[in-house]
Amino acid sequence: MKLENAPEGRTISELLDDGQIDGFMAPRPPSAQALLNPNIGWLFDDPTAAAKDYYKRTGIFPIMHVVGIRKTLCEQHPWLPGAVFKAFSQAKDAALAALSDTSATKVTLPFVEEQLKAARESLGQDFWSYGVARNRATIETFLRHHHAQGLSARRLQVEEVFHPATYETYSI
| Residue 93 pLDDT | 92
| Residue 145 pLDDT | 95
Residue stretches of the chain with pLDDT short of 50: none
pTM listed for this prediction: 0.75
Three-class DSSP category at 104: helix
Tens of pLDDT, residue by residue over 27-73, are: 788 888 888 999 998 888 898 899 999 999 999 988 888 899 999 99
Q: CA-to-CA distance for 131 and 26, rounded, in angstroms?
A: 24
To 5 degrees, how large is the angle CA 91–CA 103–CA 100? 35
